[in-house]
Amino acid sequence: MTPMLGIMASAISGNLSNFESIASANGTGSSGVITFSSIPATFKHLQLRMIARGTAATTYVQHNITLNGVTTNYFAQHEIYGDGTTAGANSDAATGYMASGLVPGASQTANIYGAYVWDLLDYTSTNKNKVAREIWGVDLNGGGYIDFRSSLAVNTNAITSITITCSSGNYTTASSFALYGIK
């Protein structure tokens, strides 16, 4: 784990000794989908960490997270963000994904990657809706983005799989994804 990602993870969810690795994956350069399935129901919360870059010939590529393969419009989000010059806030309702963010695309400066930390709270509970919080950002040598977001899935099913999808193109081979259980 890079020092910056470790700091972000610790700042969001507390002591790193409370984390246990569940699974990890790397981009292949030929797929824009990463799925963590058969997630054990033995933790209180989950955390997804990723450092990624897309292959699409664009400055940024959006990535989206869905739960249990569901892509119907039962998610809502609120966010605050900044790009080095402007700050703002936004909300979305009835989206087809629980969380999203931007990663640099192939048109961006070489070797620039986005960092992302996403916490899914009480993922095994079957008596309440799922809530997540995320922070992501990318530094572009003096510019870039930072985003803090909360998301809601109006669904009480226990979560057994998480899919991260690149909106266009694929994830580079140096992209790294890790799923942790939080005690």
**How far is 15 from 19, CA to CA, in rounded Å?**
8
Q: Find, among 164, 75, 83, the residue nearest to 116 by Cα.
A: 164
What Rg do the C-alpha atoms of the chain give, in angstroms?
15
Beta-carbon count within 10 A of 57 CB:
11
Domains of the chain by residue range: 3-182
- Report how far Cα 104 is from the mean position of its chain's Cα atoms: 14
Q: What is the pLDDT of residues 153-183, one digit of tens each?
A: 888 999 999 999 999 999 999 999 999 999 9
Q: How many CA atoms lie within 13 A of 136 on its CB side?
A: 26
Beta-carbon count within 10 A of 104 CB:
24
Q: What is the pLDDT of residues 4-58, one digit of tens each?
A: 455 455 545 556 678 999 999 999 999 999 999 999 999 999 999 999 999 999 9
Q: What are 150's strand-pairing partners?
A: 78, 133
Q: What is the pLDDT of residues 62-111, one digit of tens each?
A: 999 999 988 877 788 899 999 888 999 999 887 788 878 889 999 988 88
CATH topology of domain 3-182: Jelly Rolls (2.60.120)
Reading the block at residue 168, the tokens are: 């266009």
Q: What is the pLDDT of residues 110-151, one digit of tens each?
A: 889 999 999 999 999 999 999 999 999 988 766 788 999 999
Q: Helix or strand or coil: residue 59?
A: coil
